[in-house]
Chain A
């Protein structure tokens, strides 16, 4: 076997398939170069720190999508869970103190995840439907809850503001939370039994079941974990935006799916990983900045955003398709 008789495109394809991160990082660098060419001098330390600060909540919410997509699922209630956690923290802090409020908030998000897990694991409902449904119910609950606390006023805990907007030596403080989180996930998805079970169930559920995997236990813990991650993201986002609202993290919902997809996680399960998702979230953040700089009408910006996601995914699938 010689290297020379394979056509170059196939060779590139094979290399890309073996190292899916490489094309993504190349794309990110190309986009940064384009941005610099469009607006010379924009890329400096301040801008980079700002871009990372904005990308962190998106990347964390996309973790929910990555993990559930590995098993062939999706979590469309993540944005709602994040919003609820943020709103509950902000409104309960003046009433019962910060630690208790945070605990209640994360518990609410975990409850949403647990209900998702129950539906997907025990009742075998399609995750898309189940998470859409719980998202709808949770939004209704939030609207009802809001009427009881409308007079209490809001308080945003100081450490969340520090985490969300503060900077230490030029780097956003959010990284204090995000780096251990990302390391834990990337380590967990490949090196722990739970992580491998996700890939196993996503590749072939029947084979996994016949090898003795209790699928329902995995799904139940997976969706609860996804809910908890969404809740923590909501807390971080609250510190970043600093005004609680009833639709705080909802605009992040679909972009979080896009970040995971652009990052190379297969929506049918079994392929991908969190490292790609992080790069995907950065790519989306840079894209948004670029489109804002272009001074286009809002409509044209959305069209470009959609087309770019489609083009990136199509190109990626072309390059890494092994068949």
Chain B
């Protein structure tokens, strides 16, 4: 039990913080309820997916600065192809966009492995490339999203045969997020591939000597990140109804949430639950400040300060822990 606590202390702390924030929200805004949860879930969805993607690649010892641009490419592709398409076609479009995301991630990974240039430099260069691609596909915001996709993340869950009062408090967007997580990350985490991600993240040369194909594993990690970027881009198109060629503020927020969620930059340690909780903590802080009608610019300051103070505290604690 104590070992479980020690191993998951950071995640449990975040869960506690999230619970405290939810209580605080309820106190600030007594009407906060089903619709509040729903809008929180929908606003957090692209951020959460971005954070998941970033967390995977950081665990594998890399970092992907081109993430927000890949999201933009997927978002505009989906919106452009879905405009006026039937339900069947738009389902095909979704699959195609997912494949596109994974392919873009694989290109990033392959370039890193082949050129032997540091991850951060390659993805910095690819940031411009994907940004340009998104602008070539769609020069200004436009396109459309299929209505069935939109209904996938709006409103509460309604299960047939169960009374709606039991399930409607649960936002569909949250279920969508958990479904993505379970469908992509859990099988990987349980398989050899997940173990190899952690192995190359903590020590690439040790992993190589234990027989891990480092290059191919790295490409796979970037491809998974690209897949999450596609999901993130789709979720942007789903919630706004259009494609947006200019990347949103997802890169910075994703890196912040990954670190806040207890994934170590440099790789090898951390899970995906912590980063998700961190996303909701950061979004909820923003929402609370808006509810208290604080100037949105002050909100940016508070958000940044929280992020910096938390990582500073984490750093100090880590140094202490190493000494004892």
Chain A residues within 8 Å of B, Cβ to Cβ:
74, 119, 122-126, 128-130, 132-134, 136-137, 139-141, 143-144, 147, 254, 257-258, 261, 267-268, 297-307, 309-310, 313-314, 317, 321
Looking at the complex, which of B41-49, B84-92, B295-303 is the stretch in contact with chain A?
Answer: B295-303
Given contacts A137-B301, A317-B117, whether A303 and B265 have CB atoms under 8 Å apart is no
Are A119's CB and B265's CB within 8 A?
no
Residue of B nearest to A143 (CB): B297
The reply to whether B115 and A317 form a contact with Cβ atoms under 8 Å apart is: yes
**Least Cβ distance of B65 to chain A in Å?**
9
Q: DSSP majority for the A interface?
A: helix
Q: Are B307 and A299 in contact (CB under 8 A)?
A: no
A297 B315 Cβ-Cβ under 8 A: no
What separation, in Å, do the CA atoms of A268 and B295 have in the docked complex? Answer: 39
**Docked complex Cα distance between A128 and B259 (Å):** 11
B121 touches A313 (CB 8 A): yes
Nearest B residue to A268, CB-CB? B118
Query: Quick one: given A133-B307, A298-B132, A298-B135, are A254 and B127 in contact (CB under 8 Å)?
Result: yes
The CB with the most chain B CB atoms within 10 A, among A126, A310, A314, A317, is that of A310
Minimum CB–CB distance for A10 against chain B, Å: 17
Q: Which residues of B contact A132 (CB under 8 A)?
A: 252, 255-256
Q: CB within 8 A of A310: which of B117, B259, B303?
A: B117
A300 and B311 form a contact (CB under 8 A)? no
Given the complex of chains A and B, what is the CA–CA distance between A222 and B308 in angstroms? 19
Please, which residues of chain B bring their CB within 8 A of the CB of A143?
Answer: 297, 300
- 1/0 per residue B280-302: CB within 8 Å of A? 00000000000000010111110
Report yes or no: B135 in contact with A125, Cβ–Cβ below 8 A: no
A129-B318 in contact (CB<8A)? no
Q: Which residues of A contact B307 (CB under 8 A)?
A: 129, 133, 136
State the main secondary structure of chain B at its contact with A: helix
Contacts of A122 in B (CB 8 A): 316
Residues of A within 8 A of B252 (CB): 132, 136
Residues of chain B with a CB closer than 8 A to A299's CB? 131-137, 139
Cβ-closest chain A residue relative to B63? A128
A96 to B319, CA, bound (A): 45
With A128-B265, A129-B265, A258-B124 already in contact, the answer to whether A303 and B129 are too (CB < 8 A) is yes
Closest 3 pairs (CB-CB, A-B): A306-B128, A302-B132, A299-B135
Inter-chain contact B304/A297, CB cutoff 8 Å: no
**A141 adjacent to B256 (CB under 8 Å):** no
Minimal Cβ-Cβ distance residue in B for A266: B118
Contact of A313 among B125, B129, B131 (CB under 8 A): B125
Which parts of B111-165 form the interface with A (CB within 8 Å)? 111, 115-118, 120-122, 124-129, 131-137, 139
The CA of A130 and the CA of B128, in the complex, are separated in Å by: 23
| Residue of chain A at shortest CB distance from B299 | A140
Least Cβ–Cβ distance between B178 and chain A, in angstroms: 27
Q: Are the C-beta atoms of A300 and B136 separated by less than 8 Å?
A: yes
Whole-angstrom distance from the CB of A233 to the nearest CB of chain B?
20
Q: Smallest Cβ distance from A41 to chain B, in angstroms?
A: 29
Do A305 and B128 form a contact, CB below 8 Å, given A129-B265, A267-B121, A297-B135? yes
The verdict on A314 contacting B117 (CB below 8 Å), with A124-B316, A125-B311, A129-B265 known, is yes
Beta-carbon contact of A313 and B135 below 8 Å: no
A296 to chain B, nearest CB (A): 10
Minimum C-beta distance from B117 to chain A (A): 5
**Nearest Cβ distance between residue A42 and chain B, in whole angstroms?**
24
Asked if A306 contacts B126 (CB within 8 A), the reply is yes
Task: Given A123-B316, A136-B252, A309-B128, decide whether A302 and B135 contact each other with a Cβ distance below 8 A.
Answer: yes
Checking B115, B127, B259, B304 against A140 with a beta-carbon cut-off of 8 angstroms, the contacting residue is B304
B128 contacts A123, C-beta separation under 8 Å: no
Using Cβ atoms and an 8 Å threshold, which residues of chain A touch B255? 128-129, 132
Residue of B nearest to A262 (CB): B121
Measured in the bound complex, the distance between the Cα atoms of B266 and A268 in whole Å is 12
